[in-house]
Amino acid sequence: MGRRRYFGTDGIRGRVGELPMTPEFILRLGMAAGRVLDPEGRGRVLIGKDTRISGYMFESALEAGFSAAGVGVRLLGPMPTPAVAYLTKTFRASAGVVISASHNPFHDNGIKFFSPTGDKLSDGIEAAIEDALEGPLGMVDSARLGKVSRITDAAGRYIEFCKSTLNAGVSLKGMRIAVDCAHGATYHIAPDVLTELGATVIASGVAPDGLNINDGCGSMDPASLQRLVRERGADLGVALDGDGDRVLLVDGDGAVIDGDQILYVLALEFLRAGRLRGPIVGTMMSNLGLERALAAHGVGFERAAVGDRHVMELLRRESGVLGGEPSGHIICLDRTMTGDGIVAALQVLGVMAATGRGLSDLVAGMSRYPQELINVAAPAARMVEDHPRLQQAVAEARAALGVEGRILLRPSGTEPLLRVMVEGADADLVRLHASRLAAIAAECAAA
C-alpha cells in the first residue's frame, strides 16, 4: 500500500481554507466516501460535529457529497466523537462521520470516520477512499439522490448511554463536581450526565461561539478548572477537550491528574472487581512510574505507538480491556468502543463514590518519574528525527540517563512538530537533556 496523501493518524485534518480542509475538497470527500462505504446507496451515514464555526460549512459540503453519491444522511448536530461512534453502531448506519479537529484551535478542522461497528476505519478502506478521490466522481441519477434528515434525540440517547456505564446502584449524590467542557461538543451533555446521576455540578466552558473551542480551557489548559475547584470547594474537576474523547481530572486540592494516573486508578479497580483482562495498554509516552506501580500489583503493561488507534489495536490483540494515553484518551472496552472522556471520568467517579476515598488518595500509590516534553517546530520532522547530529546527541543522553531513563523523538501526526520527550529518575538531568536535544533538533530543522 502506498503512502496516503490525506489521511493521517486520526482522520483528515488541517487548517481551514487550506487543502484538504476546503469546502470543495470536503464535497468530493463525501462523494468518494459514499461510493466506498455504501456503494449500493441503501444505508445511511451519521454526521456529527464539534462547535467550531467551520463545522457548518463542512457539514453542508459532506451532506451534499453523500447525497450526490446516493447515500442518505442523518445529521446529529454538535456531538462528541465517542457519541458518534456509539450512535453509528446503535442506528446500524453504514458509517459515522465527525467534523472535528479534537483539541486543536478553532482555525483547524478535520474529518474522522467510523465503521458500522463504531471503530475507526481500516487502512485499506482509507486507501480506497483516497483512490476514489483521484478518479471521476459523477453524481447518481436525481431519482437516487440521498435524502437528509436530523436525529433530534441524539444527545438524550448518548446521555442515557453514559449513565448506563456506571455500576448499578452507584450514585454521585453528595459530590460537588466542576466540569470544563472546553466550549466544545460536550457542552450540552456532560453537565446533564453528572446532574442526572445526583451530583452538584459547577459547569464552565459551556458557551461555545464557534471561535472559543479549546481556547484557554478544557483538557488542553486546565488552569482555570484548577482555580474553579479550589474557589468553589469542589470534590473533583473534570476537564474535557473539544470533541470529548480526552479527559483530565483535578483533585480537591487543585492538582491535575493525567491519563496515566487515571489508568492507574482504573487498573486497580478493574483488578479488584474482576473486570481486568489482559495487560494495561499505554503508549511510548506513558510515564515509567505507571509501569512500575502496576508491576507492584502484578498487573501487566504494554506500550503501543502513540495514538488511541494504536492503543485500541494492541488492546484487541492482547485481549485487554483498559488502555490509554497521558493526554487523557482512556479506553474502557467493557463499557464503550472508543476513547470517551465522559465515560472514563464516570469510572473514576464510581470508584470514589463506592469507596468514599478522594482522588488524591486513589493516585497516591503511583509516583510519576520526572518527564519533559518539548515541541520543536519542524516541517520535515522525520528528516530531523533521523539527522545524524541529533541521533548522536540522543545516544549520549541515553548513556547519561542510564537504565532508569527514556528518550522518545516523535513526529506529530497532526502538526508540523517534532516532539522531544525525556524521562528519568533525576529531574535536573531530565531537564538538561530535554533542553539540549530540543535545541539541537531546532538547529537541524533550520539547517
Rounded Cα distance between 363 and 62, Å, is 44
Asked if residue 25 has pLDDT above 90, the reply is yes
- Model confidence over 188-224: pLDDT tens digits? 999 999 999 999 999 999 999 999 999 999 999 999 9
Mean of all residue pLDDT scores within the chain: 95
* pLDDT of 202: 98
* pLDDT of 382: 85
Kind and range of the H or E run holding 257? strand 256-257
Q: What is the mean pLDDT of residues 382-394?
A: 93
Lowest mean pLDDT among 5-14, 49-58, 279-288: 5-14
Architecture of domain 257-340+354-362: 3-Layer(aba) Sandwich (3.40)
pLDDT above 90 coverage of the chain, percent: 92
Assigned CATH for 157-254: 3.40.120.10
Give the model's confidence band at 381: pLDDT under 50 very low, under 70 low, under 90 confident, else very high.
Answer: confident
Q: What is the DSSP annotation of 62-83?
A: HHHHHHHTT-EEEEEEE--HHH
Rounded Cα distance between 232 and 412, Å, is 37
* pLDDT of 403: 86
Give the model's confidence band at 3: pLDDT under 50 very low, under 70 low, under 90 confident, else very high.
Answer: low
Catalytic residues: 102
Asked if residue 121 has pLDDT above 90, the reply is yes
Closest Cα to residue 112, out of 132, 131, 85?
A: 85
Q: What is the mean pLDDT of residues 358-381?
A: 95
Helix (H, G, I), strand (E, B) or coil at 138: coil
Task: Decide if 12-152 and 371-446 have a common fold.
Answer: no
* pLDDT of 415: 78
* pLDDT of 1: 42
pLDDT above 70 coverage of the chain, percent: 99
Helix (H, G, I), strand (E, B) or coil at 27: helix
Residues 159, 161, 165, 170, CA torsion sign: positive
- Model confidence over 287-338: pLDDT tens digits? 999 999 999 999 999 999 988 889 999 999 999 999 999 999 999 999 998 9
Q: What is the DSSP annotation of 293-304?
A: HHHHTT--EEEE
Q: pTM higher than 0.85, yes or no?
A: yes
Q: What is the mean pLDDT of residues 254-260?
A: 98
Asked if residue 173 has pLDDT above 80, the reply is yes
Give the model's confidence band at 90: pLDDT under 50 very low, under 70 low, under 90 confident, else very high.
Answer: very high
Asked if residue 41 has pLDDT above 90, the reply is no
Does domain 371-446 match CATH 3.20.20.70? Answer: no
Give the model's confidence band at 136: pLDDT under 50 very low, under 70 low, under 90 confident, else very high.
Answer: very high
Rounded Cα distance between 138 and 132, Å, is 11
Q: What is the mean pLDDT of residues 412-431?
A: 90
Q: Domain segments of the chain: what residues?
A: 12-152, 157-254, 257-340+354-362, 371-446
Asked if residue 69 has pLDDT above 80, the reply is yes
Q: Which CATH superfamily is domain 12-152 in?
A: Alpha-D-Glucose-1,6-Bisphosphate, subunit A, domain 3 (3.40.120.10)
The three three-digit cell numbers of residue 393, written as one number: 546527541
